[in-house]
Amino acid sequence: MNKFKFYFVVISFAALLFSCNNNDDTPEPVPVRAFNVQYYTDITTIEAYLNSYYIVNDVNNPDFADEDITFAKIPDGGGQKSIFKFLNSNSYPKLLTKDVLLHDITYKIYYLKLRADNELGKKPIRVDEVLAAYSGFYLSSKTEEAGTIIEGTPFETVVFPQSMLGLDRTIRGWGEIFPRFTTGIYDATLSPDPASFTNFGAGVMFLPSGLAYFNSPPLGSRIPSYAPLVFTFKLYDVKHADQDQDGVLSKDENVVDENGNFTNQDTDKDGRSDYLDIDDDGDGVLTKNEIKINGVIPTSYDLILDCSGLTTGTKKHLDKSCF
Ligand SMILES: [Ca+2]
Ligand SMILES: [Ca+2]
Ligand SMILES: [Ca+2]
């Protein structure tokens, strides 16, 4: 059953991704480390975790719910299939990777897809907003006589998301991985309250600290500095953002390929990307006042037109050259 219901009730949760509420256990400051050195440590820890843990709720379990995944350590002599063995699997769960060039290094992000894309779902881009349930834990390693042991420590769970989260305002890893997943379908016929989504995207991301909080975890959180983070998540819905409020959605002001890879456009080369630039071509006229349909500035941008003035259904950035 690809079905999930959540209630819009007032619940209390700590949105650690954005705020803090407790300074009692603030981590001690530690010296800043080099990104490339820390990345090597992190990816070693992550790969050790992938090799030494297995998926508890696998398809052989009659109670398997593909969106409710947990992991457990493979016991000595255990024959369980490690997470790593799902790499590029022909079926789901499927472990995949994404390379991200940042901080002058190429990060590898491992992520699990738990089910196929919903063909009717939407994909966010890196600056959109998402409605997502998630559960996070951080990885740590310790060396004992028997060898190095990797452990996961939970720090936050949001089962009933109450609001959209802006991917441009949270950790980079979220913005890199959520675009590889599709939203569910809201089905009002099931019941308006609780709201119901079916066939939502479900996955797990394994993030090096350089794509998470690195040396600056949220004040008051239990996340140590330089901790690789793991998030299991369910992507229910997406709100496409229009950061510069010019009527053209940000996803249409950037080049986004089918894998959600994101390339900034900067038409006037002033260092401010089009999706953040209220005057993309730098001619002194605001972009929103340059978008015309048959010569008229529209009051609604529900339908974005191409330069010919014809409705295309596809979105295209418009600039002065169109008119
Ligand atoms: Ca815009
Ligand atoms: Ca610009
Ligand atoms: Ca302009």
Q: Give the Å distance between the CA of 320 and the centre of ligand 2.
A: 13
Q: Give the Å distance between the CA of 222 and the centre of ligand 3.
A: 47
Q: Give the Å distance between the CA of 285 and the centre of ligand 3.
A: 4
Q: Give the Å distance between the CA of 12 and the centre of ligand 3.
A: 45
**What is d(CA 166, CA 130) in angstroms, rounded to the nearest whole number?**
7
Q: Give the Å distance between the CA of 78 and the centre of ligand 3.
A: 64
Task: Identify which ligand lies nearest to the alpha carbon of 277.
Answer: 2
Q: Give the Å distance between the CA of 269 and the centre of ligand 3.
A: 13
CATH of domain 3-239: 3.10.50.40
Closest CA to 46 of 210, 177, 178: 210
The angle at the Cα of 171, spanning 84 to 264, to the nearest 5 degrees, equals: 100
Task: Identify which ligand lies nearest to the alpha carbon of 323.
Answer: 3
Q: For residue 131, what pLDDT is reported? A: 94
Q: For residue 196, what pLDDT is reported? A: 80
Q: Give the Å distance between the CA of 198 and the centre of ligand 1.
A: 30
Task: Identify which ligand lies nearest to the alpha carbon of 291.
Answer: 3
CB atoms near residue 287 (< 10 Å):
24
Task: Identify which ligand lies nearest to the alpha carbon of 319.
Answer: 3
Q: For residue 319, what pLDDT is reported? A: 41
Q: Give the Å distance between the CA of 179 and the centre of ligand 3.
A: 29
Q: Give the Å distance between the CA of 305 and the centre of ligand 3.
A: 17
Task: Identify which ligand lies nearest to the alpha carbon of 272.
Answer: 2
Task: Identify which ligand lies nearest to the alpha carbon of 254.
Answer: 1
Task: Identify which ligand lies nearest to the alpha carbon of 268.
Answer: 2
Q: For residue 287, what pLDDT is reported? A: 83
Q: For residue 232, what pLDDT is reported? A: 95
Q: Is the peptide bond before 93 cis (omega within 30 degrees of 0)?
A: yes
Q: Please identify every stretch of the chain with a pLDDT value under 50, giving residue numbers as ranges.
A: 1-23, 193-194, 303-305, 309-323
Q: Please, are residues 152 and 126 in contact by the beta-carbon 8 Å criterion?
A: no
Phi, psi (deg, nearest 5) at residue 42: -65, -45
Task: Identify which ligand lies nearest to the alpha carbon of 271.
Answer: 2
b/e sequence 116-154, b meaning 16+ C-beta within 10 Å: eebeebbbbbbbbbbbbbbbbbbbeeeeeeeeeebebee
Task: Identify which ligand lies nearest to the alpha carbon of 274.
Answer: 2
Closest CA to 57 of 19, 117, 112, 96: 112
Q: Give the Å distance between the CA of 288 and the centre of ligand 3.
A: 8
Q: Give the Å distance between the CA of 125 and the centre of ligand 2.
A: 19
Q: Give the Å distance between the CA of 5 and the centre of ligand 1.
A: 33
Q: For residue 317, what pLDDT is reported? A: 42
Can you give the residue ranges of every domain in the chain?
A: 3-239, 242-323
**What is d(CA 166, CA 238) in angstroms, rounded to the nearest whole number?**
10
Q: Give the Å distance between the CA of 171 and the centre of ligand 2.
A: 24
Q: Give the Å distance between the CA of 18 and the centre of ligand 2.
A: 28
